[in-house]
A and B are shown apart, each in its own frame.
Chain A
Amino acid sequence: MKKLRMAIFDFACCEGCQLQIVNMEEGLLDLLDIVEPVEWREAISDQSEEYDLAFVEGSITREEDEQRLKDIRQRARILVALGACAVNGGVNRLKNAPDMDEVRRCVYGNSATMPHLATAPTKAVGEVVKVDFEVRGCPMSRREFTYIVRCLAAATTPVVPTYPVCVECKLRETVCRYEFNEVCLGVVTRAGCNAPCPAGGQWCYGCRGLVDDPNVNGAKDIMDKYGKTVADLRSRMELFNSVEARQCQGQ
């Protein structure tokens, strides 16, 4: 079988998803049997003109980056959005405010009007170009990444869970964070990560995005049972799902 020519690109983000690829250690060497990295600035000093498989990490926040992304799309047979920043804008969306000049001033003070500091509201990769597949999470899971790459190499369609994180969390027999009087988004967040955050002693903050049809009423029952309000849920939901958080304003 011919190896897939793979490239990895990053836009505004923490590069933590790329790091998960490095963190596969020997698993990465196994993956090199089916893919050949031809462009990956962080790890190798090569560049290429075309790719079978382009992974794009990060959010799009500038005009010039939209151009760079469109160029990548043209060279790529399959384009995969890597991690929350690329899939839905991730935490970067928190900066989106009606007044972007004020956001610039907040960080750069009197220098804020210098042209190289220009910024636009954060976009996900899919808001600029067509995305063929997504690897969700912040950071993405190494297991899911490997699975998706293997599927693509075998020309099959990856299947990822659409049920909520609570399902995986209960299977692990983690004590529910609501028992600690904390607000957990596992009730409305897509599974697939195996619920590492509650198991590690924190709530789920929704980094994989919301389930397709979030059962806000189901969440509300839990809120009532533990004396929390949907408003508590909403402020935490803003971290990785600010668009949906605003939509559930009225409920």
Chain B
Amino acid sequence: MATRNTPHPTLAKRFVADRDRAHWHDESLWFIREKRDLQAHGLPEWEELRARAAQIKKHSVSNLAEYLLQFEKRATALGVTVHWANDAEEHNQIVLGILRSHGVKRVVKSKSMLTEECHLNPFLEHHGLEVVDTDLGERIVQLRNESPSHIVIPAIHIRKEEVGALFSEKLGTETGATDPKYLTEAARQHLRQKFLQADAGITGVNFAIAETGGIVVCTNEGNADLGVSLPKLHIACMGLEKIIPRVADLGVFLRLLARSATGQPITTYSSHFHGPMYDGEMHVVLLDNGRVEVAQDDDFREALNCIRCGACMNTCPVYRRSGGHSYSATVPGPIGSVLNPLKSPLEHTSLPFACSLCGSCSDVCPVQIPIHHQLYQLRSELKRQGNIKTAKSLQMWFVGMLFRRPRLYRLGGWAARWSLRCFGKLAAFRWLTIWGRQRDLPFPPRVTFRKWHNKNRPTDGGRHV
């Protein structure tokens, strides 16, 4: 039985309680959004690229079976073993099985939202393996026993003083050191040893190419490459939707991904793995875990276009001000607020409402997912399923009824102006509704718009209201 997660507003309230931190978080993300804009505006064909990317994704998501089989065939011919998994449990068992058959004890892992989704780390640790996340941000959150708060920048919520304290405790750096350069160097030394000692490397997958049977992994740090070039065993874990038809499609996606994600023209390393390394072994695990269901949903299919660039998070006024952990989900932010409730509506009821419907996410999304439309639609879906609190439903019903009855609306307007004049701020009903708590009410105008309009309307045909 699914239980409701702590709702977004409750967790967000804790986040904003520390004003300075919330403000700093907001600014850091906006800084990345601005870098993204510079890159996007630097390419005259930006909008055309987005349109093509969206179309390629829509095409592949609607022909998944064909492309997955083609991928399997080509990858197998290159010497890769392809596995299929229905859900997280099966996925984890497959990975464990491969590792066990090679007697693996130490695993290095590069960033993969999918393995976070499957909670692979705790599962493997439970079975006695050492799993080290090698992306710097992910290593930081792993050492803090936390989950990433952002899909591209996992430790965006953590300050350098905190990293300094953490590293001094766990890695023996000087106490009080906060210089990012010094701390990064310490992590480099620490993780180099882990790379050299590892028996296997696990990576995520940014793109899987049906035409060639290859996979592409993008990083800036080079951690994925080190992790699968030293040990002989490489396991790549991917969601079914990562498939693209042609290798040349990368000419579209790689131009969009890093520009949208961090405002770089391309990631430092975009590695194309076609088959295992010399003398090595390579496995790809294809995971469904609810994706097929979304692929069949005419209203939400496009959510599978997502290439996990994180741009919708960086731009979202709610995400920036409430932090990734307020979403209680592996993928937070706008796209997370679509994907999570689609999979488990009961757990994530509050997410589609953590949105002002400003539409900024849809504007920046490199694969043109109509995110804010989907969020809006999810709200009505949740209502239909009876998953919405009575207070919210009641308000909506009341406003809906008012808007349908002009006379009542007029009367209501009169009453509202009267009470504003007499009671001022009290009229916001702070003690009754959440809405009123952070808002001030304006002083009512002397002349209503209706009166003004009726007096000033053009004489040739302007309507009396």
Indicate, yes or no, whether A interacts with B. no
B residues at A contact (CB < 8 Å): none
- Report which A residues bind B (CB closer than 8 A): none
